[in-house]
Structures are given as C-alpha cells and as structure tokens.
Structure 1
Amino acid sequence: MLIHTVNDSADGDPNDKFDDDDYPAYSMGSAAQILGTTPGFLRSLDEANLLVPHRSEGGHRRYSRYQLRLAARARELVDRGTAVETACRIIVLEDQLAEAQALNVELHRRLDAR
C-alpha cells in the first residue's frame, strides 16, 4: 500500500512548515471538518493503510496536507459507491501511475539532452 513518510523534525525555521505538504499540521477533528467527513472515516483509511498519520506525543493522529488530499480522493470514490478498501487500492494505483509517468518524462528528458 501507499506509505508516505512524514517529516517529524521540529528543527529549522518554523516558517518552512507553511509550504511543507508532509508537515502533520491537522488534528483528526480539523481534518474531518475540512473534508466534510467523520473521524471514523479517517480511522477507516488508517486501518486500510492508505494513511499513516503522525502521532503526537499524546498518541493523537495528525494529518498533513498530502494526506488530506488522499483522504479527499478516497471520500470522492466512497461517495460514488466504491468500498473503502477498493477506493484505497485505486488511489495507490493512481499514485503509482503518476510516479511512473513522472519517471518516464524524466528519462525522456535525459535522453533528449544527450
């Protein structure tokens, strides 16, 4: 499944976090509110291994903007009648395809530069 690591480092300039798609800035409640869904839906994505949220020192889930985009895509698919597990698999495949396409573009760029 899709594993996207979150940068846990608190070092450096705090202003750098504003543009960091992987910074776990959103609590479960905030994430659910932003997505217009329930905390239970986010937990189901965690159980399906689509999202692996950062855990605060107190054990609370924290989500990044990247993870919110994945959750929004999952919600879109589920709202259309797709089962959660199937939606997660679709998202993983979409992510793999995007990575393969980006790699293909980069390889073609390198070949053209020769």
Structure 2
Amino acid sequence: MAQPDDIFGDDDYPAYTMGRAAEIVGASQEFLRRLDEQKLISPFRSTGGHRRYSRYQLRLAARAREMVDQGTALEAACRIIILEDQLEEALQLNRKLKQQEPTDMT
C-alpha cells in the first residue's frame, strides 16, 4: 500500500482539483477544459466524475498559459508542447539505449 509521502512525491498522482489546479496555473477552469479538448492534458476523473490533475499536468498547463499569454494561439501552443514532450521522451530513450550498448572491444 502506498504511503502518503510516496503519493505526494509522485508527479503523476492526480492530487489537485480543477479549482486548485486553475489557481496554481493562474488560469481559468475553462482554460483547463480547453487544454483537455486539445488533448494536451487528460485529467483523471474521480468516481464522481470530477477532474483531478497531477503536478506534471500542471507544468504542461502553466507552459501553455505562458505561451498563450505571449500571443501563441492555444491550438499551436498545445501542439508545440506535445511535440516538445515527445522529443524529450525520445531523447531519454535514446540515452538509455546508448547506455545499454555493449562497448566495442577491438
């Protein structure tokens, strides 16, 4: 069974309600809904159907808000962030695979 410290230390744990998430990000709840529509973040749904957000999702939402505040269209900001996230995952996988390669013994 997970301990509270384990749960709250997990960037993917859906700990934040929509209201609290909007407050943390500095955006409206409608903005968070639009990020869901654009498939940037897909919040966890509680048994009652309420959206719950993780710290990782809040970082993505904050990045989107910053870009929109700077004049980037929401759809473009979401696409850029998705591509940046995919690139980072690919780079991490590449580093991991390079570490696993056997060294040349010639």
TM norm structure 2: 0.89
- 2:8–2:15 contact (8 Å) kept in structure 1: no
Q: What residue number does 1:31 align with? A: 21
Alignment of 1:84-99 (within 5 A): 84-99=74-89
Gaps of 5+ in 1: 1-10
Q: What residue number does 1:110 align with? A: 100
Residue type of the partner of 1:82? Answer: T
- What displacement does 1:32 show? 0.7
Q: What residue number does 2:71 align with? A: 81
Question: Could you tell me the percent identity over the aligned residues?
Answer: 63
The SS at the match of 1:62 is strand
1:8-45, CA deviations, whole angstroms, 9 ceiling, x for partnerless residues? xxx53233112111111111110111111110100100
Question: Greater CA radius of gyration, 1 or 2?
Answer: 2
1:31-69, CA deviations, whole angstroms, 9 ceiling, x for partnerless residues? 111111110100100111111101112211110001001
The SS at the match of 1:41 is helix
Residue type of the partner of 2:90? Answer: A
Gaps of 5+ in 2: none
Say how many residue pairs are matched.
104
Q: What residue number does 1:53 align with? A: 43
1:12 correspondence with 2:5? no
Residue type of the partner of 1:58? Answer: G
The root-mean-square deviation of aligned C-alpha atoms, in Å, is 1.5
